[in-house]
Amino acid sequence: MNDDITVADLSLSMGGQKIIKSLSTSIKAKSITAIIGPNGSGKTTLLSALVGLRKINGQVMLGQDNIYEMPSKIRAQKIGYLPQKNEVNWNISVSNLIGLGAMPHRFNNQTSGNIIDKAMDVTNIAHLADRKVMDLSGGELSRALFARVLAGDPEWIMLDEPMAHLDLSHQLGMIDLLKSIKANGKSIVIIVHDLHQAARLADNIIVMKDGLIDSEGPTKKVLNLEMLKRVFGIKAQIINDKHGVKIDEIMRL
C-alpha cells in the first residue's frame, strides 16, 4: 500500500497574498524529509497545509485518502503535528500534557500510562513528569511537546523547527531520536533552519523559494553549490562521503 503524501496543484493565499503557488510534490513514507528555504519562502505554510489546517486550492493526499476530507479524529491518529509556536494555556503537569497526545486513540488507563512513560523516556524528560509546564525552560517545554506528539503514535510526524530552543547536546539527541523513529517505520517531515542539521538528518529535501519548490530529491543531490548560491545567496564547501553530506565554510556572496 502506498502511504506517501501527494500534493497536487496546491495554492494558498493569506491576507490577499498568494503564499503557495501551484505547488505539486510527493513525499515518501517511512523516510525523513526536510523542508528548507529562506525566511518567508512558505515553509511553515506548506507544512500547515500538509496537516490539513489551511483553506487551500488543490489536493493533499495521504495514500488514497484526501487529508482535508478525513474525519478530524482519524487525521489526528495518522498525523502528529508540532508547530513552531505552540502555547500551553493550562499549567498542568508534564505527564498530563503528554497524555493529551494519546486522546484520539482512547486507550485504557494502563495502556495510556505505558505510552506516556515511553514518550517521556525516549525524549529524556522522565524526571520532569510531575513538573508544571509553565515552570519548564524553553528547551524542556519543546521536548515535552514533542513527547506529546509521540504519545499519539501517529504514522506521520510533522515538525516545524523542533530544535530551535534546544541546546547543542539536545539538538544532536533529537537528530538521533528522529532517525531511530524513522527506523521503526514512521514517516517524518521537518522544517529545518540549520543546513548542517538538514544535511545530517534528512533522506530527502524540499527547497522552498518564493512559495514554490526550487528543487527537491535525495539530500546528496539537492544540497549543491548552485542551489546554495541561487536560493540562499551563500557559498560553501560541500563534502560527500559515506557518512552523508557535510557543509562547511559557509560565506555570504
Does an H or E element contain 213, and which? strand 212-218
What pLDDT is attached to residue 89? Answer: 82
For the chain, first and last CA: distance in Å?
A: 46
pLDDT at 223: 94
Instruction: State the CATH number of the domain containing residue 113.
Output: 3.40.50.300
H-helix or E-strand spanning residue 110 = helix 109-122
**Alpha-carbon distance values, 94 to 47, 83, 158, 176 (Å):** 26, 18, 21, 23
What is this structure's pTM?
0.93
7 - beta bridge partners?
Answer: 25, 60
DSSP string, 145-199: HHHHHHHT--SEEEEESTTTT--HHHHHHHHHHHHHHHHTT-EEEEE-S-HHHHH
- Environment class of 135 (CB within 10 Å of its CB; exposed 0-12, middle 13-18, buried 19+): exposed
The list of the chain residues with pLDDT below 50 reads none
Nearest residue to 28 (alpha-carbon basis) of 251, 237, 203: 203
- State the pLDDT at residue 90: 85
Q: Which residues of 9-33 are buried (b: 16+ CB within 10 A; e: fewer)?
A: ebebbeeeeebbeebeeebebbbbb
- Rg of the chain taking only CA atoms, in angstroms: 18
To the nearest 5 percent, what fractions of the chain are helix, strand and coil? Answer: 40, 30, 30
Number of domains in the chain: 1
pLDDT at 68: 95
DSSP 232: I
Domain carrying residue 145: 5-252
106-133 pLDDT tens trace: 655 555 678 889 999 999 999 999 999 9
